Amino acid sequence: MLNKTAVERMEEILRLMEREARKKGAPVFEAERKSASSPFKILVFTMLSARTKDETTMNAVERLFAVADTPAKIASLPLHTLQSLLYGVGFYRQKAKNLKALAAIVAKKGVPRTLKGLVALPGVGRKTANIVLARAFGKTALGVDVHVHRISNRLGIVATKKPEETEKALIKLLKPSLIKNLNRIFVAFGQTVCLPKAPLCSQCPVFAYCWRVGVDV
């Protein structure tokens, strides 16, 4: 059994979540504002942000773009320079290698606009590709990260074990216009209210719609 009410009221739930997360200064919105200028910047930010706090990723992206602000310039940076610019980001050594290779490809061909094209780039998985498709190109794509997976299950709109299952279930359940914005809003809400270990349920604006599956409060 799933939480049908939450599915039906998802438009309102997203609106309430976004308003609260903005009030609380969710880092993802600041990162979004700073990287919104180009699909390449969104791609770089998203690939670097895996297992890294958004603030740390944004600082690294700003350092990087202050030195090299195009794919060609990034591709031509020595690897050790790239690694020191990305220092602090999780797995920065491997990500620097991937970024150098990715930038060389994008310098020649541009940022791919398809899932297939994006996942063919070094260091870009399905989650990153879907986030880029939605944020950079406004496509109906859903990147399911830990926040999206966790919050969807807590709300009771899915009952899934793996992010890939969550992606399929949500795409089946929700309207395309909601899917596009779901990642950014759930991430922001997961950073500020529906926290991984101790969700702030008593302050939650969608408490009335949430089944709080697996939440011990």
Residues at the interface with ligand SF4 (CB under 6 A): 151, 154-155, 193-194, 199-201, 204, 206-207, 210, 212, 215
Smallest separation (angstroms) from ligand SF4 to the CB of 115: 29
Smallest separation (angstroms) from ligand SF4 to the CB of 196: 10
DSSP-assigned states of every residue in the chain: ---HHHHHTHHHHHHHHHHHHHHTT-HHHHHHHHHTT-HHHHHHHHHHTTTS-HHHHHHHHHHHHHH--SHHHHHHS-HHHHHHHTTTSTTHHHHHHHHHHHHHHHHHH----SHHHHHTSTT--HHHHHHHHHHHH--S-----HHHHHHHHHHTS---SSHHHHHHHHHHHS-HHHHHHHHHHHHHHHHHTS-SSS--GGG-TTGGG---TT---
- Nearest residue (CB) to ligand SF4, 63 versus 212: 212
- Nearest residue (CB) to ligand SF4, 68 versus 200: 200
Smallest separation (angstroms) from ligand SF4 to the CB of 193: 5
- Nearest residue (CB) to ligand SF4, 16 versus 47: 16
- Nearest residue (CB) to ligand SF4, 50 versus 215: 215
- Nearest residue (CB) to ligand SF4, 89 versus 210: 210
112, burial (CB in 10 Å: exposed 0-12, middle 13-18, buried 19+): buried
Smallest separation (angstroms) from ligand SF4 to the CB of 154: 4
Smallest separation (angstroms) from ligand SF4 to the CB of 165: 19
- Nearest residue (CB) to ligand SF4, 104 versus 201: 201
Smallest separation (angstroms) from ligand SF4 to the CB of 166: 15
